[in-house]
C-alpha cells in the first residue's frame, strides 16, 4: 500500500530503511524522483525488482553495504542496485539457482525495459534496470 499511496520513491526509501533495520546491512538510497509518479505498472515492476535484489543480498551475498540509485533520464527511469558482497560466478550457478534473476528479467521486460547484471566472484553484484517512464 505504501507504493500505491506514495509512489515508487517513497516505497523504495521505506524498503531500504526496513531492510537495513532487519538485516543490519547498510543501505544508501538516492533518488532524483522525489514526489514524481510513474505508470503504476512501472512502479510495481521496479519495486518488485528491488525487493528481489535485496532478498538475494540478504540470502547470498555476505555484503555489508548496498546502494540503490533511482533516476530519470529523458523518457527513461533507471534503477541501479549494487552490493559489496562476495559476488557470483554467472556461469557456475546451480541449476536451481537464478529463479530470482529470471523473475527480475521478466519484470524488466514487463515495463518495456532492460535488465543488466554485472557480477564476479569477490566483486559484488550490480543490477541495472531501465524502463520507459510512460508519462
Average of per-residue pLDDT across 118-132: 91
The share of the chain scoring above pLDDT 90, in percent, equals 76
> Beta partners for 118?
126
Say what the pLDDT of residue 89 is. Answer: 65
Q: Which of 44-58, 90-104, 106-120 has the lowest mean pLDDT?
A: 90-104
Q: How many CB atoms lie within 10 A of CB 46?
A: 26
Distance, in Å, from the CA atom of 119 to the CA atom of 103, rounded to the nearest integer, reads: 17
Strand order in the sheet with 114-119: 26-31, 65-73, 76-83, 125-132, 114-119
pLDDT tens sequence across 78-111: 999 999 999 876 544 555 556 788 999 999 999 9
The share of the chain scoring above pLDDT 70, in percent, equals 92
Amino acid at each position: 500500500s505504501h507504493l500505491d499511496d506514495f509512489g515508487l520513491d517513497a516505497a523504495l526509501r521505506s524498503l531500504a530503511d526496513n531492510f537495513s533495520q532487519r538485516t543490519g546491512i547498510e543501505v544508501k538510497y538516492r533518488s532524483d524522483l522525489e514526489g514524481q509518479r510513474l505508470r503504476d505498472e512501472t512502479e510495481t515492476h521496479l519495486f518488485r525488482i528491488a525487493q528481489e535484489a535485496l532478498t538475494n543480498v540478504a540470502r547470498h551475498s555476505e555484503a555489508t553495504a548496498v546502494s540503490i540509485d533511482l533516476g530519470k533520464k529523458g523518457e527513461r527511469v533507471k534503477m541501479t542496485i549494487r552490493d559489496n558482497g562476495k559476488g557470483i560466478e554467472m556461469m557456475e550457478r546451480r541449476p536451481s539457482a537464478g529463479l530470482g534473476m529470471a523473475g527480475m528479467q521478466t519484470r524488466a521486460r514487463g515495463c518495456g525495459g532492460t535488465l543488466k547484471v554485472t557480477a564476479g566472484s569477490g566483486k559484488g553484484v550490480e543490477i541495472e534496470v531501465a524502463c520507459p517512464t510512460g508519462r
